[in-house]
Structure formats: C-alpha cells, structure tokens
Amino acid sequence: MRFQALKLSVGMAFLLAGWCAGPLFAQSQLTINITGFKKYRLAQPAFVAPAGNPQAASLAEAFNQTLWNDLNQSGLVIMVSRSLYPQATPAQPQDLNGGAMAAWSNPPAQAQRLVFGNLAVGNNVLQIEGYLYDLTQPSSPYMLGKRYSGPPTAPEARLMAHEFADAIIAALGGGQGIAGTHIAYISNRSGHKEVWLMDYDGTNKRQITHLNSICYSPRISPGGNRIAFISNRSGTWQIWIYSLLTNRYLYFPHFNGFIATPAWSPDGTKLAFSADLDHSGNPEIYVINANGSGLHRLTYSHSVNIAPVWNPKTGAQIAFESDRTGLPQIYIMDADGANQQVLTTSGYAVSPSWSPNGQVLAFSWRRTGGGENNGGAYDIYLMDLASRNFVQLTHNGLRNDYPSWAPDGRHVVFTSGRPGHWQLFTILADGSNPAEISRRGSNQMPNWSSH
Amino acid sequence: MQVRNRLLAAAASLPLLLWLTGCGHKKLPPPPPPAPVAAAPLPTASISADPTAIQRGQSSTLTWTSTNAVSVTLNGARVDLNGSQQVSPTDSTDYELVATNSDGKTADSSVRVTVTQPPPPPPPPAPTVVPLSERFQQNIHDAFFDFDKWNIRGDAQQALEGDADWLKQNPEVNIIIEGHCDARGSAEYNMGLGDRRANAARKYLVALGVDASRIRTISYGKERPFCTEATSECYQQNRRAHIVMQTSGGGSSQ
C-alpha cells in the first residue's frame, strides 16, 4: 500500500522541567513540555476528491476527518482553523505555484506547515496522494510526499490517514506517532465486563472476549500480539492470555488463590502480577515467565500489593501500589524486589503507569483526606521520578483512574466518571486536548498498546 | 328384628295321621275325640343395641326381652330371658337373640352393632424438615468492616462466633467467603482489599475451630454490591465478608 517510505528515527520529544514552588509547599510542581519546541501552525485543507462521485466524497470525508483528528491530537501542532483558509484548495504541488503558497503563510491563516493532497477512486482502488510543505521555506518547501492505495472502504481510508499522520508527525520531529496504536479496555456493552479493543482515536471498537464473566485489567503485550487480563470465568480469578494472532486463548497455569493485575515485562517474556497464594489475606507481587514457569515472589509486606507495572525503558524496576501503611500508596522497587521506596505519602494513590522513557509515573491520586467520608475527587497526576515533582493532569471533579501512557510518551488514556458510569478519555501530558473516546456502556481500565 | 313361626306345619299334619290310623277297624266305635292338645304360647324375642354404631374400643349396651320363652340364647350362648350386656366388638357384629318356648318353638331377633374405625390419631406434629440452605441462611451471618479496613471488629466477631458454632455442628457444610468493598476507591485495589477481608474472616473461623479445608475465599472487590446508593448505610452494607454455602460443584450459590 505504501509506495514511498521515509524512515526517521527521532528521539523522544518529551522534556520535563521541575522547580521548587517555594518552602510553603510540601511538594514542588512539575511542568511538562511535550514537544521541546514551539508548536507549528499547521493548515490541512480537505483533500480534493473528484466532483460528482459520492463514493469518493464519502471516502474523502473519512480520510480528512481522521487526518485532522490525528494531527490535532498529536500535540505537536496548532491546527489553523479552516475558516481562515484561502479560497483555492491545492490538490497538487503545482497548485501552489505563483502566489498561492503565500496565501497560506500570510494572514489570516499564517500557517507554517501545509498538508494537502488529493483522492481518486477507480477500478475498485482508492488512491490518495498527500504532501507536507514547510511554508517558512518557500524556495524549497517540500518535506514529504506519500501515495497510498488500497480497497475503497472507509476503514482503509482511515488507515491511510493514520499512516500519513504518523509520517507527518515523524517529519515534524515528533518521533514515531501513535495513529496506528490500539487501546484495550473493559466494557460492559455486551452485558458482561469483557475485554474490548479499539483504535487509539476511539474508532473500530470490537469485542475480544466472550467469557460472560467479569474481566479486569487487560494489558497488551509488547508487540501487540497478546492481551493478558483476569477473569472469574472458571469460578476463581485467573490470568487469561488471548492471542490476537490466532484469536485463541494461550496456555497459562491456574493458581489456587487470589490473582489480579498482570503486567508484561518490556521484552514480553515475563508477567508480574498480584497474588495471595498462601491465603494469608496479603496479595503480594509475583513474577512468572509468560510460559508459566519460574514463579517467584517479590514482596513480603503483609498487605495489599497490586497493580505492578514495569519500567518500559529498562525493565529493571517495577512500580506498584501497596496499603502497607494504611491507604494505598505508590511504590517502586527493583525488578528483583529490592529497594522498595514509597513515592506518595498522603491520601490515596493507585494505578501507576510508567512513561515509555522511564522517567515519569502517571497514577490516580486523591491527595487529601484519609477518612471514610471524603469520597472526593481522584485525579490523574504525573510524577517525575528523578525529582519526585508532580503535576495534576485532570481537574474535572470526577473520579479519574487507570492512566496508561501512549508509546509516544505524549498521550495518556484514562477512565473518568462516577461508579458505574465510566468513560475513556485521552489527554496530552501537558493537560491539553482531552478527548472522550468511548460512549456506549461503562468503559474502564484502558491499556495503550506499544507501537 | 325377625320373628319366625314354625307352628303351622305341625298343626296341618295331625288330621292325616288320624285318618291313617282309623282304616280297617270299621266295627270299632269311633274313637273318642282326641284330647285337645294345650299348645304352649308362642315365644317372642326382641333385642336392641344402644348405640348401634360405635368406634372401635367403645362399647354398646345390648338389651333384650323375651316372652313365653323357656330359654334364650344370644349368639348361641345362653343368657337370661331378659337382660342387658355391654359389648365391645372390634368389628361390626350381628347379635342374634333366640327365644325357645316349652314346645321347642323359637322366635328370634337380631341387632347389628356397627364398628367404625376411630379417626387416625392426630398425626404427631410432623418433624419440620428445614432445608439445609434455609438453616444456613438462618444461622450464618456476614461480617462487616470499616472503611478501607479488614480487621474483625466487635460485631463481626459476634457474627463469626455464631457462624463457627453452626459450622462445627454441621461439618458437612463447606463455605465460600466472598470479600466485598464499597463503591469508592479503585476497582483493582478493592480486589485486593476484598481478598484481605475474606481471608480475615476465614482466619477468624479457623481460629475458632472450623477446619480450614472447608473454607474457600474469593474477592469480588466492588463488583457485586449489595446496594448501590451513594450513602454511608449502603457503603456499610457493601463492606463485608459474605458467607455462602459451597454447592457440590464447588461453586458458590449466589
């Protein structure tokens, strides 16, 4: 499908800056700059489709909407409003000859980057040409040109838009984009809590499990081929692993005792999870090989230790939550269980997720109050592990839980709402561009795939 | 009452006998007229029963009278010419009184005493068979917990002590302890908290002498609330170790 491919290897464009807010504050604040550069003003006029062809028009609409949303959600650009665009819409590079290009870079559009192209349908093939121009370099504006072809269907048009969006993001210095990634989550849409999967932008939702039980805590394996989760289908909670390659459940040993919250190691060979295998009432963190061998225990804290997550950069550390001092708090430890350290010391802190660069933990925190009657807001926070500085990401007064980092390190998906009425949102790590990506049923525990 | 008269046949046979004996003696003077036979008066018999219907075990009084009789029998046994007698037959019985006069002539009379079965004795209060599951419900009580706590507080101790007593008296019953949490907090964390609560209750029962092998535990976290309102009463209802009977398949009965 791809005729032209430009491979860019760009480092994580994710910078952190922390400073002390002053001696009156027990903990200092963190600001997050997700680009490391000033956001470009980007114009994306609709791709030009042949007139009088309803099929081409509908495919163009799917493509244009998807591309706009991908670029808008990337956090790398400021999308110039279409009401400011010049009247003539370019379909080909030659359409920008003469003074046409300046019409985009001059007021009112003042675009610095221009994405344009065209779309054709013939012989049961959809073909799309797209270009990225740097309007600040009028003598050599060409940055990127792509041509895609495939079946003339809306899903295919959306896929082409995702691929082109990721190519643009890479060309703009944003590294590998997330337009082709997926989010696994738990939905009760079918009447039971089952594992579902969707594209990162909330489209293409499909039910993965049909166990007619309760499923929790889906985690997509690195590489995206497997989903681990727990279900009480067998009458007891067990870890289940579903292969997205074969659409079958893979072998995993059953345990006698409490089991929860599986977590893939970054190389996909191991799972950390929480288990109470001696019926002591103390779920502890264990690690096991993905083939079921090599079970060993990491924590001995005589409390609830749950929701482990590996440092995806190094695989050398595991973050988790523990109520060993009362209400649950966030801890980190080495992957062999040594060096356990608490990161939060007040309130109620749960559901850690480790950023792809290994530097920032996202988690859900109700910072104040430990008492029964403080049902208050739970918000998503980000904490820089080096400085322990943190920043509050959500401010909606609802209960926000289960953050999960996107592989670009710029996006976080999380659950927001009230008990029984949960929906999924994505947000940029700087708090901008919140987007609701689920509507029907109650949806929670999202987990963002790797690239 | 039946009265039979057998005199007619005997009287009719007399002229024939006289005619036969008179033949061949023409010259003989006519015999003197036979001496008139003084026939004894015919007997009568009458018997009654009061009451005529009894229940088995009860008695009835037979009363009889006779006239012109020289002997009277009741069902073949000689009795006074007039009299009464208590009877207590086990089954319905005919009593036949026969009076005989001096000529051997008889008269009889009978009465039937009907015996009915007594009503079945009022059935002894049927031993009420309460199903095991119902007795379980009546005797087993859940343990409740404080917010974000798993220690067995006073009221829970009382509940579990009663549970342990009953379980020791019913050793065939195996149980599942479900750990439940209220709707607040994180669902994943509450799965762990539910495990703590279920096992805290389990340990308490084991310490009171219930065999550990009879107890399974499972956490439902906040997945199966007993009530769904956002009130402190409702939250309290949902923070519990809920004890259910294991079915034969090992599953829990909801």
Output the pLDDT for position B31: 63
Output the pLDDT for position A21: 32
Output the pLDDT for position B240: 96
Average pLDDT value for chain A? 91
Question: Which residue ranges of chain B lie beneath pLDDT 50?
Answer: 1-25, 250-254
For range A23-45, the mean pLDDT: 70
* A34-48, A64-78, B177-191: least confidently modelled range: A34-48
Core vs surface per residue A326-357: b (16+ CB within 10 A) or e: ebbbbbbbebebeebeebbeebbbbbbbbbbe
The one-letter amino acid code at A362 reads A
Contacts of A326 in chain B (CB under 8 A): 148
The verdict on a CB contact (< 8 Å) between B189 and A420 is: no
Percent above pLDDT 70 for chain A: 91
How far does B120 lie from chain A, in Å, by closest CA?
52
Burial of B188: CB neighbours in 10 Å, binned 0-12, 13-18, 19+? buried
Number of H helices, E strands in chain A: 3, 31
The one-letter amino acid code at A143 reads M
Output the pLDDT for position A126: 97
pLDDT, tens digit (0-9, with 9 covering 90-100), for A125-136: 999 999 999 999
Q: From CA A323, how far away is CA B190, in angstroms rounded?
A: 11
> Phi, psi at residue B79, to the nearest 5°?
-135, 175
A283 touches chain B (CB under 8 A): yes
Tell me the count of A-B CB pairs closer than 8 A. Answer: 98
Contacts of A219 in chain B (CB under 8 A): none
A325 touches chain B (CB under 8 A): no
Is the pLDDT reported for residue A370 higher than 60?
A: no
A31 touches chain B (CB under 8 A): no
Output the pLDDT for position B35: 61
A328 touches chain B (CB under 8 A): yes
Closest partner CB to B192 (pick from A235, A260, A372): A260
Whether the CB-CB separation of A299 and A342 falls below 8 Å is answered with no
Output the pLDDT for position B120: 73
Closest partner CB to A281 (pick from B146, B183, B199): B199
The verdict on a CB contact (< 8 Å) between A216 and B193 is: no
Contacts of B251 in chain A (CB under 8 A): 235
Reported as half-sphere exposure (CB side, CA atoms, 13 A), residue A204 has a value of: 20
Chosen CATH of B40-118 out of 3.20.20.70, 3.40.50.12140, 2.40.110.10, 2.60.40.2470: 2.60.40.2470
Alpha-carbon dihedral A155, A156, A158, A161, rounded to 10 degrees: 170
A433 touches chain B (CB under 8 A): no
The verdict on a CB contact (< 8 Å) between A214 and B223 is: yes
Sign of the torsion formed by the C-alpha atoms of A328, A331, A334 and A337 = negative
The verdict on a CB contact (< 8 Å) between B192 and A305 is: yes
A188 touches chain B (CB under 8 A): no
A217 touches chain B (CB under 8 A): yes
Token couple for B179? 């750990």
Domain A15-171 has CATH 3.40.50.2000: no
pLDDT, tens digit (0-9, with 9 covering 90-100), for A5-31: 222 222 333 444 333 333 333 344 676
| Distances in whole angstroms, Cα of residue B156 to Cα of each of A276, A402, B151, B159, B174 | 23, 33, 9, 5, 20
The verdict on a CB contact (< 8 Å) between B202 and A323 is: no
Contacts of B199 in chain A (CB under 8 A): 276, 279-281
Closest partner CB to B199 (pick from A232, A276, A364): A276
The verdict on a CB contact (< 8 Å) between A401 and B235 is: no
Is the pLDDT reported for residue A46 higher than 50?
A: yes
Number of H helices, E strands in chain B: 6, 12
A11 touches chain B (CB under 8 A): no
How far does A282 lie from chain B, in Å, by closest CA?
6
The verdict on a CB contact (< 8 Å) between A235 and B189 is: no
ipTM of the complex: 0.89
Distance of CA A184 to the CA centre of its chain: 10
CATH code for residues A182-448: 2.120.10.30
Q: From CA A243, how far away is CA A225, in angstroms rounded?
A: 6
Nearest residue to A112 (alpha-carbon basis) of A45, A40, A161: A40
Closest partner CB to B195 (pick from A276, A327, A371): A276
The verdict on a CB contact (< 8 Å) between B195 and A327 is: no
For chain A, the structural domain boundaries read 15-171, 182-448
Output the pLDDT for position A375: 58
In chain B, positions 24-53, which contact chain A (CB-CB < 8 Å)? Answer: none
B58 touches chain A (CB under 8 A): no
How far does A27 lie from chain B, in Å, by closest CA?
24
**Mutation for testing the A interface, residue in B150, B181, B188, B229 having most A CBs under 10 Å:** B188
The verdict on a CB contact (< 8 Å) between A372 and B147 is: yes
Output the pLDDT for position A369: 64
**Mutation for testing the B interface, residue in A230, A330, A372, A373 having most B CBs under 10 Å:** A372
How far does B126 lie from chain A, in Å, by closest CA?
39
Q: CB count, 10 Å around CB of A224?
A: 18
How far does A192 lie from chain B, in Å, by closest CA?
11
B229 touches chain A (CB under 8 A): no
How far does A305 lie from chain B, in Å, by closest CA?
8
Output the pLDDT for position B252: 45
> Phi, psi at residue B127, to the nearest 5°?
-60, 115
B218 touches chain A (CB under 8 A): yes
Class of domain B132-245: alpha beta
In chain B, positions 102-161, which contact chain A (CB-CB < 8 Å)? Answer: 146-148, 150
In chain A, positions 377-406, which contact chain B (CB-CB < 8 Å)? Answer: 378, 401-402
For chain B, the structural domain boundaries read 40-118, 132-245
B183 touches chain A (CB under 8 A): yes
The one-letter amino acid code at B222 reads K
Contacts of A276 in chain B (CB under 8 A): 195, 199
For range A191-212, the mean pLDDT: 97
Specify the pTM: 0.78
Contacts of A305 in chain B (CB under 8 A): 192
Contacts of A373 in chain B (CB under 8 A): 232
Output the pLDDT for position B30: 64
Q: Which residue has the tokens 């006069």?
A: B101
How far does A281 lie from chain B, in Å, by closest CA?
4
B235 touches chain A (CB under 8 A): yes
Whether the CB-CB separation of A162 and A1 falls below 8 Å is answered with no
The one-letter amino acid code at A208 reads I
Closest partner CB to B199 (pick from A280, A419, A420): A280
Burial of A430: CB neighbours in 10 Å, binned 0-12, 13-18, 19+? middle
Is the pLDDT reported for residue A371 higher than 60?
A: no
Closest partner CB to A260 (pick from B191, B217, B222): B191
Output the pLDDT for position B37: 64
